[in-house]
Every structure is written in structure tokens, then in C-alpha cells.
Structure 1
């Protein structure tokens, strides 16, 4: 009786999918399993676009750049399999290397990835790849697969609960973990088959629009080089390396399947494909912001400065500093100690009260209240729940509270770095009006290479820090060992 009930449920739900879950794929003309109509797709895209608007600012420093990107995107979209959609192309103010598409034709590209491209053809390749995701309805197909998987998980959970009641919940969770699909495809890709399909479609749209489809290979090479470089940096910083959108282990130059799918687009190539419009791309991106936006705080040398919040602090000269969306992290040269700065708005009570609340301190742990650089703060030294010693301070400034904490991986590591942690806490101060006005963001600039110019030479006066030489090579598509050629237009950061 139990097995019959589970079977009936499975058959009923399967029939539901059979009669309501198929639609013609606009790319292949074949039936695909989907639980979302095109009208639903448009609505979902609009809703998601509102949320993206809350998370990302539009990059509006260069209005002409927005228009330029949109013009290229619309040209490509007209050559796609779904030209009737109302496409939207937006440059977002983020230093992240990324581009992504929402259902219904909402496509986003960061200024971060624009900085590492070197021609209009490469920009078009990024946009064409994302258009390919839209035309093939990858997000819709993923949503439908996830919905079906969750129903399958529910059936599995029900059967398990009936046969082995004490394990039912755990088994259901296990099936959901195995079959569930999250929304991470926006930044991490849709899987090998869908990414290859987007590459193939994107290459076709490139060729039909007058660009060389091989620009798709070049762009994937740009991203692969970013990934390889980040592996080096991540090792230095003691973190996991980033994996870029849809990339796998093989370099694109050696990826036979990728070469094949892009090569299929050669049949659509036009004579104009020989011009990658590099000069126009460099003109449009001249003066584009690079790295952290000023309103998010900037790293200059060993200092972190926040113009809008009006403060500055200094980390030890040899520590590695990262400005993340919700915190600033600094790591010691040996990776055995770190400091973290975070913010809390509208604080209540004293700095000592907030320190006890946020750090969950026992009443027996002393908290020192004091004033430093004209600011009220509280300082405490203790150990974490796993026995790692730390020193932390809660600082009040301009209706905000800042928690600045430093810890060592061991008592010995903390001892080696304690003076550095204390010095950073003591360095936190308000910016003067003159200092605020002097804070400027970094920008992309173009120069003409002269005889004997090298990236090592350019790196000596670069604001890009210890890895400036590699960053300059990445910016100019010459990573890992290329050098400028006399007469070549190259990008620098100022």
C-alpha cells in the first residue's frame, strides 16, 4: 500500500510535467522541458532587474560608455535567435571581473571586466555570450530543472519517511542537496554544456554582426589568465582563488571542443571582421574608473581611506589589504594574523557597551574606554572560542560605529603581530576637509609605448601595488610574459 501511494504521486507529478512543461527552444527548434512561459520569463527578468539595481550602482561617470555598450549589444541582439525581446545592456559600477544575464534580456557587464578587454570585438564577445544564455533560455531551463528536482526530492523524502520514518527528513535533505540547483549561475556559469552553447551562439552573433568570432576565444583567454593570476595572489593572501564565469581547467587555446563550436561560426563571417576596432574601444574606455570606487573607500599604499565616511587608518606597510563589500581585511606577510574592519550604523550606548554586545564578552572580561585622535573608543583583549588571541576596538565616528579587530593564529603569532594591530587601532582618525578633497579614484589611461619601455619600469611608479607588473600585463592582454612594443597603445592606471 505504501509503495503504491508513492508510485501514484510520482506518476501524477510526472504527468503534470508532461502536459505543462514543454516549450520550443527558440535556438534549436526542439522541445525543451520548461515550467516557465515567455511571459513569465519577462516578468521574472523585470523583478530580478529591480533587485540587481539595489545591489549594483550603474556606472554613470562616462555616459558615452553606457551608450557605446548598449549600441553594440543591440546590434548583436538583432542578429540573435530572439530579436523580438526588449534587451537592456548596463555597465555596473563594480571592480569585479564579471558579466551576467537575467531572463528576458537584461544583460550586465562590470567596468571591472571592461578594464581587461582590449578591443570592441572582445567587448562584443562578452555581450554575445550573455545574449546566447538569453536566447537559449538557460536560466529558464535551469529553473525548470531545479523545480523538477525539488519535486523529485519531495517524493523521495515521502517514500523514505513512510518506509523509515526516523530517517525521512535526513534523506529528503540529502536528495535536495544532491539535486537542488541554486541561483549562482549568474556569476559562476551554467555548467559546461550551457556555457559551450552560449559560446557557440555568441560566436555566431559576432560573425553575423561583422566581428571575428575568434574574439570569443580571446575573451575566454582573458578570463583564464585572470584566474591563473588570482591563484598566485590567493596563495599570497591565504584565501581560495576565484573561479571565473563558466571556465574549466583547460586553457581555451587547448580546448578542442571550444575551438570547434566557435569555428562553426566562421561560415557567417563578413569582410569587416578583420577590424577589431581596438582604437575606438580604447577611446571609449579612456578615463574609466579602475579598482574600488571612491564612495566605497580606497586603498592607497598601506592606508584605507573613506571619503564619504570621513576616516583613514594605516595598516603595517607589508600587510596585504583587501576592500570587500562589507569589510576591509588585512593579512600579515606570513599569513599568521589578520585584521578586519567592519561598520555598524546608528550605534546605541557607549563603545564599551557595543563591544560587549558584538563580541559577546563575558562580564569578567575588562573593556577599556578611552579617547584617541578625538574619537571615543573601547579596547578589549581576549581569546576567541577556539583559543585564538585577539585585540579589538569599537570606535565611534560621525554616527557610525566601527569594529576593528586583529587576531593571531596562535599565541606566538599574536605576540609577533600585537604591536602592529595596536598601531592600526591607534591610527584610526577623521579626515580633514582638505584630505577628503584630495582622494581621487584610479583611472584607465592610454599611452604610446616608446623604445625600451617595459612593464617592470611602468610598475615602479604605478599605484597598483606589489603586483603592478602583472596587473599591467593583464590589462593589456600580454600576461604572463609579454612586453610593450614601440608605437603600441597600452593601458596604464593613474
Structure 2
């Protein structure tokens, strides 16, 4: 529900084949994509990525990330490229690169980093994929074998599927490619090469190359924590790809390739840029933004689309790119809210024709909080009962459907599903303006301060203590040290 948008597919591009010199190794690589084609495909895809995810509106942070990225790019094997470094407006932990030097980080990944050196490590790894032309090599190999080129072949690095199915599918269509690398990443050899190159660029730019290993550890901890949260929420954990899937932070080969960068370390003391990084990320949105929809006390509010609805207490709510899902505490029932851009006829007409919901004797057409709505109770093709509401608001159609995993479960939750449908209403102008997203702040730790103490007043909820440790690189058992600048969520 964070995007509510679809990406138009672009046609496939015919490419000329041949050999090209790898900018990193100096050797000849078979390639079906010229450098001009690489630039063009990257430029076209970048426009679609910006439309799909949205560029995060925080100019000082955008400038800062670009400055760090350009500093690294000048020390790379392809300094002549016109690099673009962009923070996209997504809470997911992700970074990726398009062909030709278009590199993206989410505000979600920035939240869990704790120094400029760690930011440089993420950017350096992505630059490594670009300079070694990994996307071009993978595309060419797949095309030459007469198989579909993979999304990982052109969207480099740490591209996680939880960014949203429709977004990922749109980028696939745009690049004329489909396949499995969205799930598998680049493979160990290319990821290690990107680590090696990233570490070299770090060292040449004045950073400690060990930041590459540190950031892998930080994000591995975030992944382990998400596995535990996923169990609580009854969902699949988010799986990281790229550098975070191919090796742990104590991997021997990883240590070796990063260690090779020591020869490029600049003389003098190395500042990891922690204070500078925290200064630039202070005030950054954490989690869902108001324009993407936020959840407060099991009430979902969408500022841009101007509506709100309430789910039952203790139900687990997930704000996904194309829908909002609520799961009962025991996992025996769920509700799904979906948006459809166009409306036709009455809500009952749309329910009957477009959604193929059988209008039984319990069906009713009415108004709900001043909005036209059709309430339907019916059964699926498998004979499972469900209840749904089709609601019209601001020339858009919303479908909120709820069902149980058995007829008995549906009976237990029927009233809760009805209440959720009935709670859907428009936001007033005052309510709309009052919706604020969570932000990152900083405080200086005093003696004896603990994350448990901070968690008691945190808006992060039941897992606040662990989130605070993760945000400050002190998971799973670390505590603030007196005088330490630590991140909080406010």
C-alpha cells in the first residue's frame, strides 16, 4: 500500500554483440551490450525507478550521500562515468545499482548504518558492480545461452524482493528481463569482487576498508532480528542478497579480499565520520512515511489518499507496496485492503462484475461514514466463507476482504471483519495535517542509561529495545556508554 502504482513495461532492446575490455581486469569479456547501450538502459531504468520508489525529499541528505559517492567514484576504475547517487523513499533495507552508474540506497538501510565509512562501504560495493560491468556480463551470458536475462543482471547489488512485487516486476519488464537473480543475487565470485573493489575504493578515499566487514555484520544482525520478528508476525522473513547472503562477516575469503585493500590505505589517522553521518541522518523518516500510509495503535492512516480505518486490537498489520494485510493474533484469519484506481457504476456493480463477488441475500448497498459501499458475505470457490466491503472514495475503489482459515474461524472473526469495514472513512483536513511519520533523533547517553529505559517511552512498540540496539550497532546485548551519541526514534 506504500506505492499504489504500476510501472509500464518497456519493449526489449536489440543489442549488438562482441568483446569488450573489462575496466577492472584489463582482459577481454564477451558482451552483448555496448557501453553506449549500458548508459542508455541505465538512464531509462533510472527514470522508472524514481517513479516507482520516489526520491526521498531530504535535500541535505541527498547532497551528502552524493558527495560521499562521488568521492569514491573518482577513485574507481571507471571515473569517467556520470555517476548518480540517490536516496529512495523506502523503509526497506536495500541498495542497488543500475547499469551506467545509477546507484540507489533506501532511507531504510541508512537508518541502520552508524558512520560515513559504513555508508561508503555500501556505495563502494555497488560502484564495484558497475566498474566490473557485472550486470553487462550477466546479461550477455544469459542472452548468449538463449535464456531470460535475470533481474539481478541489470539491477545490481542488494536487491531484496520485499521492495514490492509490482515494483520488481515493473523493473523486470522495463529492462526486458525476468528470472531468478532477484532471489539469488550475483553469485559469490562477483560479490567478492565487488567487496574487493569497494574496499579498495574505500581505502583510496581515506576510509578504513574494514568498514566493509563492519556494515555486513550490522546488516546481518538486522536480518537475524527480522527472522525472530517474522515468527511473531506469522510471515516469511526478509532475505538479503548480494554481499549479505553470499558470506558472513567472519568469512575467511571475505577477510582476505578486504585485507588486500590495506596497500591503498592513506597515511594518517582515519576518521570514520560517525558524527557527520549522524548529523546528516538526524530528522530522517524511520519506517513508513505519512504519504505511504502509517499505522498507529492498529489504525491505518494514509495522508495522500486521505482515508483511515481501524483493525482489531492485537492484530498484526503489514503495510505492503500494493496492499495492507492484517493477521489475527492466532493466525487463523486475515484481512486484506487493496486499491483499484478506476470506479465504474456502483460499488455493488463493481463487486459483482470486476471482483466476481457473489451477492448473496446478505449483500447490501449502503453508505458508510458518507461513502458509497457494498457489503458482501459469500463463499470462495473452495467453499470458504468471507466478508468484503467495496468502498468508493475520491474516485478510487477500495476492497477490504476478510476470511478465516476455516468456517469456524470465520464465525469467530466475523464481527471484527465487519467492524474494520465499517471503520473506513475519509480523513478531515485537520486529521490529514496531523499525521506525522516517525523520525530519527539523537541524544547523548548519560551514565547508567539503558536501551530498556529508552524503550519504555519509545513509539517503536513491543520490540523497541532490540530496534534501538540495531539502530546503534549494539545488537544483541550492547548498552549505551556515557557520552555516546545514540539514535532514538521520536
TM-score range, shorter chain: 0.7 to 0.9
Counterpart-to-counterpart distance in 1, 2:454 and 2:67: 34
Counterpart-to-counterpart distance in 2, 1:381 and 1:391: 4
For residue 111 of structure 1, the aligned residue among 88, 95, 107 is 107
Do 2:385 and 2:403's aligned partners in 1 also have CA atoms closer than 8 Å?
yes
* Equivalent residue number for residue 34 of structure 2: 37
- 1:51-200 → structure 2 map (5 Å cutoff): 51-60=48-57, 62-150=58-146, 182=178, 185=181, 189-200=185-196
Deviation, 1:416, is 2.2
Deviation, 1:94, is 1.1
Higher relative contact order (CA 8 A, sep 6+): 2
1:466 aligns with 2:465: no
- Relative to its length, the structure with more helix (as a share) is 1
1:266 aligns with 2:274: no
TM norm structure 2? 0.87
After superposition, the C-alpha distances for 1:182-219 in whole angstroms (9 at most, x for unaligned) are: 46657863111111110110000000100000000111
Q: Against the structure 1 CA distance between its residues 472 and 56, is the aligned structure 2 distance closer, same or farther, given a 3 Å change threshold?
A: same
Counterpart-to-counterpart distance in 2, 1:127 and 1:239: 30
Secondary structure class of the residue paired with 2:392: strand
The structure number with the bigger radius of gyration is 1
Counterpart-to-counterpart distance in 1, 2:381 and 2:324: 22
Counterpart-to-counterpart distance in 2, 1:233 and 1:186: 23
For residue 349 of structure 2, the aligned residue among 348, 353, 362 is 353
For residue 378 of structure 2, the aligned residue among 359, 379, 382 is 382
* Equivalent residue number for residue 226 of structure 2: 230
Counterpart-to-counterpart distance in 2, 1:104 and 1:44: 8
Counterpart-to-counterpart distance in 2, 1:249 and 1:57: 26
1:24 aligns with 2:21: yes
Q: Against the structure 1 CA distance between its residues 387 and 479, is the aligned structure 2 distance closer, same or farther, given a 3 Å change threshold?
A: farther
How many pairs does the alignment contain? 450
For residue 45 of structure 2, the aligned residue among 48, 62, 66 is 48
1:334 aligns with 2:330: yes
Do 2:337 and 2:398's aligned partners in 1 also have CA atoms closer than 8 Å?
yes
After superposition, the C-alpha distances for 1:388-422 in whole angstroms (9 at most, x for unaligned) are: 32111011222222111111111122222222212
* Equivalent residue number for residue 476 of structure 2: 480
Secondary structure class of the residue paired with 2:381: coil
* Equivalent residue number for residue 273 of structure 2: 277
Deviation, 1:477, is 0.8
TM norm structure 1? 0.87
Counterpart-to-counterpart distance in 2, 1:271 and 1:358: 68
Do 2:227 and 2:237's aligned partners in 1 also have CA atoms closer than 8 Å?
yes
* Runs of 5+ unmatched residues, structure 2: 1-14, 150-175
Counterpart-to-counterpart distance in 2, 1:337 and 1:452: 44
Deviation, 1:253, is 3.4
Q: Against the structure 1 CA distance between its residues 124 and 248, is the aligned structure 2 distance closer, same or farther, given a 3 Å change threshold?
A: closer
Secondary structure class of the residue paired with 2:338: strand
Q: Against the structure 1 CA distance between its residues 182 and 198, is the aligned structure 2 distance closer, same or farther, given a 3 Å change threshold?
A: farther
